[in-house]
């Protein structure tokens, strides 16, 4: 999934720069020149001009420009520009002229010094009924303006209009004498906007849940961010109706706080990049505070808790212990964990404890709450602080919600992929089985002839003849080949299951009986614990016996001589269904991790002899029974295979009876 397109990012960057400049404290003309410079760089026109309109004189002047001098208003093409500008001033609509498009012949004729194809963009600098002029972009070549570019230019036009308007208000204010207050106000406004812009950029840099949370909380606590001492984030768990602590960011004591602040002051640089890189290095093993916040769980209907009230009432709270009508009684989990009330015995007497909460809004509901405090600095939390924090949490809430949705999507995607892989594996096996069966049958007839005729030959030859030994060798090899064919055929046949009720313990006992001698010969100890409460279950006797034979002989082969074979049966529950578990464990070499993922694939083998079908057959048979086969592996110390077979068959599988 692509989170954002490159062009959208580019547009945001351009706009971000322009917004910062238009809110800066530079003189208006300098600001306009800067803006034109940014536009010239971003759109690369051959000439970019900002014409301000003077209502009293009904004329335009070129206020800022970028490009050759002869393009300016007092050059030979003055007449034509002025005409075009006037049209925009009347329509208040942007015009885009492109060669072969709307560029009329007359216009071209009136510009004798322009010979090649040209393109023009004229954008009104207007907003809310105010009109301040026209922004003009000129290209000495054909140029198509994309929808995104057109819209961006319109927004830029509005932003410049705001700059003009502010300047106008400012000069009016100077006339009234309250310039300083206004300038300060404007500075703060500008800082706020660019801060939010920076944080937003940082939030866009990741889709990882923990990183998003960490960026949000760091932005709240970082010095050139919002500068709170500590920040804690809680999300609602609607299913359980609880408010759950997700993360806390902030120093654990005043000394640590000083160190961090000093460190951050020394860093400098771009806030967005700092935030993003801080959060990328973020490790889940957080601070003491973080650990404690993650332990907090508060029932959402708890009445007196400020946190849950914030969620319920969807409004911010600010609690100031010095002067407050709303005091926290300190009997909630938050208090216990982060000590959020007065510290009466702290050295300098009673220190004011200030904290505030703001709700986290999603698209349609409150998804949580952010709590902030100034426990170390004791700095008062102003209405301005809360306002900024509220503005920010609107962005933050959306980012978190997006991220959660993205996580759902990712999970769903992963599930789908897993299902697809299982399906593929099954198809692969089915195709392979069919092919194997065909080949096996074709081989079987000639093999019968070879083997049986050699047997006849063997009987006719006198004992002691070399030829008799040769015949014997052929007979043995043919027997082996026929054994392999039986393996392949039982593998390809495994999809046809004949279900009847059988006692699994009985099948195991029978299988073990046939192996007793071999186990004794190899000095293998047998530890058997079969649960008498295991009920009879529907299964295909032959197939299940085959599974036990394969697993037991694998276990036996893995141990060589000596060792202990463990066989257990027991009832168990899995995903709400009843199963019987059969565990077969050995004390052999175990399975090396490189091959572990291969063991259920057909024709995979690590044994010197064998077809590599044993486990594939088991897997297939167990699959046909809607059961599970799992392996617990301990390289060098042994492996334990567990077969889980359902006690009840699924209703949808009745057709298996007909097979």
Partner 1 sequence: MKKILVVDDEENIRLLYQEELEEEGYAVEVAAHGKEALDKLNTFRPDLITLDIKMPGMDGVETLQKIREVQRDLPVILCSAYGEYKQDLTTWASDAYVIKTSDLTELKDTIKTLLSLH
Binding site for partner 1 (CB under 8 A): 441, 444-456, 475, 478-479, 482, 489, 493, 496, 659
Closest to 580 measured CA to CA, from 542, 533, 534, 624: 534
**Secondary structure element (H or E) that encloses residue 649, with its range:** none
The residue among 338 and 621 lying less far from partner 1, judged by its C-beta, is: 621
Minimum distance between the CB of residue 465 and partner 1, rounded to whole angstroms? 21
The residue among 446 and 636 lying less far from partner 1, judged by its C-beta, is: 446
DSSP for 418-444? HHHHHHHHHHHHHHHHHHHHHHHHHHH
Minimum distance between the CB of residue 460 and partner 1, rounded to whole angstroms? 11
Minimum distance between the CB of residue 448 and partner 1, rounded to whole angstroms? 5
The residue among 449 and 648 lying less far from partner 1, judged by its C-beta, is: 449
The residue among 75 and 449 lying less far from partner 1, judged by its C-beta, is: 449
The residue among 322 and 479 lying less far from partner 1, judged by its C-beta, is: 479
Minimum distance between the CB of residue 430 and partner 1, rounded to whole angstroms? 15
Q: In 10 A of CB 291, how many CB atoms?
A: 14
DSSP designation for 571: E
Minimum distance between the CB of residue 454 and partner 1, rounded to whole angstroms? 8
- Beta strands 354-361 and 366-373 are antiparallel
Distance CA 35, CA 18 (A): 6
Q: In 10 A of CB 350, how many CB atoms?
A: 12
Distance CA 546, CA 504 (A): 12
* Alpha helices (H) in 44-127, listed in sequence order: 78-91, 105-109
Minimum distance between the CB of residue 444 and partner 1, rounded to whole angstroms? 4
Minimum distance between the CB of residue 441 and partner 1, rounded to whole angstroms? 5
Distance CA 167, CA 130 (A): 13
Distance CA 433, CA 435 (A): 5
Minimum distance between the CB of residue 482 and partner 1, rounded to whole angstroms? 6
**Residues contacting residue 211 through CB under 8 Å, at least 6 positions apart:** 279, 280, 282
The residue among 167 and 450 lying less far from partner 1, judged by its C-beta, is: 450
Sequence-separated contacts (24+) of 528-534 with Cβ below 8 Å: 528/566, 528/567, 528/568, 529/567, 529/568, 529/569, 530/505, 530/567, 530/568, 530/569, 531/505, 531/568, 531/569, 531/570, 531/571, 532/505, 533/571, 534/503, 534/504, 534/505, 534/569, 534/570, 534/571, 534/580
The residue among 624 and 646 lying less far from partner 1, judged by its C-beta, is: 624
- The burial of 524, by beta-carbon neighbours within 10 Å (0-12 exposed, 13-18 middle, 19 or more buried), is given as buried
The residue among 140 and 457 lying less far from partner 1, judged by its C-beta, is: 457
Minimum distance between the CB of residue 490 and partner 1, rounded to whole angstroms? 8
Distance CA 333, CA 299 (A): 10
DSSP designation for 193: H
Distance CA 204, CA 276 (A): 9
Minimum distance between the CB of residue 540 and partner 1, rounded to whole angstroms? 12
The residue among 96 and 491 lying less far from partner 1, judged by its C-beta, is: 491
Distance CA 58, CA 60 (A): 7
DSSP designation for 593: T
The residue among 68 and 483 lying less far from partner 1, judged by its C-beta, is: 483
Minimum distance between the CB of residue 442 and partner 1, rounded to whole angstroms? 8
The residue among 87 and 479 lying less far from partner 1, judged by its C-beta, is: 479
Minimum distance between the CB of residue 659 and partner 1, rounded to whole angstroms? 7
In the 3-class helix/strand/coil scheme, how is 227-269 assigned residue by residue? CCCEEEEEEEECCCCEEEEEEEECCCCHHHHHHHHHHHHHHCC
The residue among 320 and 482 lying less far from partner 1, judged by its C-beta, is: 482
């Amino acid at each position: 999934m692509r989170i954002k397109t490159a062009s959208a990012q580019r547009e945001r960057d351009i706009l971000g720069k322009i917004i910062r400049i238009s809110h800066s404290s530079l003189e208006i003309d300098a600001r306009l020149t800067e803006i034109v410079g940014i536009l010239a760089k971003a759109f690369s026109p051959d000439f970019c001009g900002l014409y301000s309109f003077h209502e009293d004189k009904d004329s335009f002047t070129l206020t800022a420009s970028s490009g050759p001098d002869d393009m300016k208003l007092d050059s030979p093409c003055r007449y034509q520009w002025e005409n075009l500008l006037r049209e925009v001033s009347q329509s208040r609509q942007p015009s885009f002229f492109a060669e072969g498009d709307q560029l009329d012949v007359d216009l071209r004729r009136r510009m004798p010094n322009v010979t090649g194809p040209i393109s023009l963009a004229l954008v009104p600098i207007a907003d809310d009924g105010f009109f301040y002029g026209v922004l003009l972009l000129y290209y000495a070549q054909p140029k198509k303006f994309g929808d995104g570019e057109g819209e961006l230019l319109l927004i830029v036009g509005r932003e410049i209009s705001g700059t003009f308007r502010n300047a106008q208000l400012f000069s009016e204010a100077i006339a009234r004498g309250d310039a300083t207050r206004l300038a300060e106000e404007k500075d703060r406004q500008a800082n706020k906007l660019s801060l939010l812009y920076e944080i937003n950029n940082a939030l866009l840099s990741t889709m990882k849940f923990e990183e998003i949370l960490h960026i949000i909380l760091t932005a709240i606590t970082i010095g050139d961010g919002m500068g709170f001492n500590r920040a804690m984030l809680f999300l609602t768990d609607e299913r359980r109706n609880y408010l759950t602590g997700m993360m806390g960011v902030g120093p654990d004591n005043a000394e640590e706080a000083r160190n961090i602040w000093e460190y951050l002051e020394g860093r400098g640089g771009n806030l967005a990049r700092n935030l993003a890189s801080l959060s990328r290095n973020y490790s889940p093993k957080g601070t003491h505070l973080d650990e404690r916040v993650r332990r907090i769980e508060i029932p959402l209907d708890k009445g007196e808790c400020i946190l849950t009230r914030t969620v319920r009432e969807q409004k911010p709270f600010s609690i100031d212990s010095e002067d407050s009508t709303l005091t926290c009684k300190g009997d909630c989990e938050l208090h216990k964990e982060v000590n959020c009330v007065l510290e009466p015995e702290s050295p300098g007497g009673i220190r004011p404890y200030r904290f505030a909460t703001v709700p986290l809004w999603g698209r349609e509901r409150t998804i949580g709450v952010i709590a902030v405090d100034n426990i170390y600095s004791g700095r008062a939390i102003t209405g301005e602080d809360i306002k900024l924090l509220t503005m920010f949490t609107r962005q933050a809430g959306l980012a978190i919600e997006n991220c959660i949705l993205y996580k759902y999507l990712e999970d769903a995607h992963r599930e789908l992929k897993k299902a697809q892989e299982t399906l593929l594996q099954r198809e692969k096996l089915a195709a392979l089985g069919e092919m194997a069966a065909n080949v096996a049958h074709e081989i079987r007839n000639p093999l019968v002839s070879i083997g049986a005729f050699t047997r006849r030959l063997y009987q006719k030859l006198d004992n002691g003849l070399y030829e008799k030994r040769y015949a014997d060798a052929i007979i043995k090899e043919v027997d082996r080949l026929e054994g392999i064919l039986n393996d392949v055929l039982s593998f390809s046949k495994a999809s046809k299951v004949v279900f009847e009720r059988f006692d699994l313990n009985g099948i195991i006992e029978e299988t073990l009986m046939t192996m007793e001698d071999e186990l004794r010969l190899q000095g293998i100890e047998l530890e058997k614990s079969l649960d008498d409460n295991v009920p009879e279950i529907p299964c295909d006797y032959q197939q299940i016996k085959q599974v036990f034979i394969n697993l037991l002989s694998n276990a036996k082969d893995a141990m060589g001589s000596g060792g202990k074979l463990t066989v257990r049966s027991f009832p168990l529950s899995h995903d709400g269904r009843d199963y019987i578990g059969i565990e077969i464990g050995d004390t052999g070499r175990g399975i090396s991790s490189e091959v572990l993922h291969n063991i259920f694939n057909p024709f995979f083998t690590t044994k010197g002899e064998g077809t590599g079908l044993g486990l594939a057959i088991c897997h297939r048979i167990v699959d046909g029974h809607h059961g599970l086969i799992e392996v617990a592996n301990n390289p060098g110390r042994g492996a334990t295979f567990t077969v889980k077979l359902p006690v009840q068959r699924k209703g949808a599988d009745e057709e298996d009876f007909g097979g």
